[in-house]
Chains A and B, each alone.
Chain A
Amino acid sequence: MVTSPRASDGPAPKADPAARLRASNRRIALTLAAIAAVFFVGIIASKLVGDPRIGIGVLGGAVLLYLLVAIGRNLRDRR
Chain B
Amino acid sequence: MSTIAHDHPAGLGDHHAHDDHAHHPSGITRWLTTTNHKDIGTMYLWFSFAMFLVGGTMAMIIRAELFQPGLQIVDPEFFNSMTTLHGLIMVFGAIMPAAVGFANWQIPLMIGAPDMAFARMNNWSFWLLPPAAILLVTSLFVPGGAASGGWTMYPPLTIQAGMGMDLTIFAVHILGASSIMGSINIITTILNLRAPGMTLMRMPLFCWTWLITAYLLIAVMPVLAGAVTMLLTDRHFGTTFFNAAGGGDPVLFQHVFWFFGHPEVYIIILPAFGIVSQIIPTFARKPLFGYASMVYATAGIAILSFIVWAHHMFTTGMPTAGILFFMYATMLIAVPTGVKVFNWLATMWRGSMTFETPMLFAIGFLFLFTLGGFTGLVLSIMPVDVQAQDTYYVVAHFHYVMVAGSLFAFFGGAYYWIPKWSGTMYNETLAKVHFWSSLISFNVTFFPMHFLGLAGMPRRIPDYAQQFADWNMIASIGAFWFGASQLLFLYSMVQCARGKGEKAPARPWDGATTLEWTLPSPAPYHTFETPPAVK
Using known A-B contacts A64-B306, A79-B200, determine if residue A43 contacts B118 with beta carbons closer than 8 Å: no
Q: Which of B216, B218, B220, B226 contacts A44 (CB 8 A)?
A: B226
Within the complex, the shortest CB–CB distance from B256 to chain A, in Å, comes to 6
User: In the complex, A37→B222 CA distance in Å?
Assistant: 7
Residues on B lying within 8 angstroms of A by beta carbon are 113-115, 117-119, 180, 183-185, 187-188, 191-193, 199-201, 211-212, 215-216, 218-223, 225-227, 229-230, 241, 249, 252, 255-256, 259, 295-296, 299, 302-303, 306-307, 529
Count A/B pairs, Cβ under 8 Å: 109
A-chain residues with CB within 8 Å of residue B183 when the two chains form the complex: 32
Instruction: List the 4 closest pairs (A to B, CB-CB), nearest first.
Output: A43-B226, A40-B222, A39-B222, A36-B222
User: In the complex, A50→B529 CA distance in Å?
Assistant: 54
Q: Can you name the residue of chain A whose Cβ is closest to the Cβ of B259?
A: A60
Asked if A29 CB lies within 8 Å of chain B CBs, one says yes
Proximity bits, A10-45, B CB within 8 Å = 1, else 0: 000000000001001100110011011111111110
Proximity bits, A33-77, B CB within 8 Å = 1, else 0: 101111111111001000010001001100110111011101101
A47 pairs with B218, CB closer than 8 A: no
Within the complex, the shortest CB–CB distance from B274 to chain A, in Å, comes to 15
Using known A-B contacts A2-B193, A37-B222, determine if residue A67 contacts B216 with beta carbons closer than 8 Å: yes
B303 pairs with A64, CB closer than 8 A: yes
B-chain residues with CB within 8 Å of residue A59 when the two chains form the complex: 223
B113 pairs with A2, CB closer than 8 A: yes
Asked if A7 CB lies within 8 Å of chain B CBs, one says no
A-chain residues with CB within 8 Å of residue B220 when the two chains form the complex: 63
Using known A-B contacts A43-B223, A44-B230, A71-B215, determine if residue A24 contacts B192 with beta carbons closer than 8 Å: yes
Using known A-B contacts A43-B226, A71-B299, A79-B200, determine if residue A63 contacts B306 with beta carbons closer than 8 Å: yes
Q: Can you name the residue of chain B whose Cβ is closest to the Cβ of A64?
A: B306
Using known A-B contacts A28-B192, A44-B229, determine if residue A67 contacts B256 with beta carbons closer than 8 Å: no
User: In the complex, A3→B114 CA distance in Å?
Assistant: 9
User: In the complex, A38→B223 CA distance in Å?
Assistant: 10
B259 pairs with A71, CB closer than 8 A: no
Asked if A6 CB lies within 8 Å of chain B CBs, one says no
B188 pairs with A25, CB closer than 8 A: yes
Within the complex, the shortest CB–CB distance from B510 to chain A, in Å, comes to 31
Task: A28-B184, A67-B303, A75-B299 given; name 9 further pairs at CB < 8 Å.
Answer: A21-B192, A28-B188, A32-B218, A36-B180, A43-B222, A71-B212, A71-B299, A75-B295, A77-B200
User: In the complex, A35→B180 CA distance in Å?
Assistant: 11
Q: Can you name the residue of chain A whose Cβ is closest to the Cβ of B252?
A: A52
B302 pairs with A71, CB closer than 8 A: yes
Within the complex, the shortest CB–CB distance from B207 to chain A, in Å, comes to 11
Within the complex, the shortest CB–CB distance from B530 to chain A, in Å, comes to 10
Using known A-B contacts A71-B215, A74-B200, determine if residue A2 contacts B306 with beta carbons closer than 8 Å: no
B219 pairs with A63, CB closer than 8 A: yes
Residues on A lying within 8 angstroms of B by beta carbon are 1-3, 21, 24-25, 28-29, 32-33, 35-44, 47, 52, 56, 59-60, 63-64, 66-68, 70-72, 74-75, 77-79
Q: Can you name the residue of chain A whose Cβ is closest to the Cβ of B116?
A: A1
A-B contact pairs, 27 of them (CB 8 A): A2-B113, A2-B114, A24-B192, A28-B191, A32-B188, A33-B180, A33-B184, A37-B222, A39-B219, A40-B229, A43-B230, A44-B230, A47-B252, A52-B249, A59-B223, A60-B259, A63-B219, A63-B306, A66-B219, A67-B215, A67-B216, A71-B212, A74-B200, A75-B295, A75-B296, A79-B199, A79-B200
User: In the complex, A25→B201 CA distance in Å?
Assistant: 21
User: In the complex, A29→B192 CA distance in Å?
Assistant: 11
User: In the complex, A28→B212 CA distance in Å?
Assistant: 15
B-chain residues with CB within 8 Å of residue A66 when the two chains form the complex: 215, 219
User: In the complex, A67→B217 CA distance in Å?
Assistant: 11
A-chain residues with CB within 8 Å of residue B188 when the two chains form the complex: 25, 28-29, 32
A28 pairs with B306, CB closer than 8 A: no
User: In the complex, A33→B184 CA distance in Å?
Assistant: 7
A-chain residues with CB within 8 Å of residue B249 when the two chains form the complex: 52
A68 pairs with B303, CB closer than 8 A: yes
A-chain residues with CB within 8 Å of residue B229 when the two chains form the complex: 40, 44
B-chain residues with CB within 8 Å of residue A64 when the two chains form the complex: 303, 306-307
Q: Which of A1, A43, A74 contacts B211 (CB 8 A)?
A: A74
Q: Can you name the residue of chain A whose Cβ is closest to the Cβ of B117?
A: A25
Q: Can you name the residue of chain B whose Cβ is closest to the Cβ of A75?
A: B299
B192 pairs with A25, CB closer than 8 A: yes
User: In the complex, A12→B255 CA distance in Å?
Assistant: 50
User: In the complex, A77→B46 CA distance in Å?
Assistant: 36
A-chain residues with CB within 8 Å of residue B241 when the two chains form the complex: 47
User: In the complex, A60→B216 CA distance in Å?
Assistant: 13
A-chain residues with CB within 8 Å of residue B119 when the two chains form the complex: 1
Within the complex, the shortest CB–CB distance from B394 to chain A, in Å, comes to 25
Chain B CB count within 10 A is highest, among A36, A40, A64, A70, for: A36
A-chain residues with CB within 8 Å of residue B187 when the two chains form the complex: 28, 32
A43 pairs with B227, CB closer than 8 A: yes
Q: Which of B184, B212, B255 contacts A56 (CB 8 A)?
A: B255
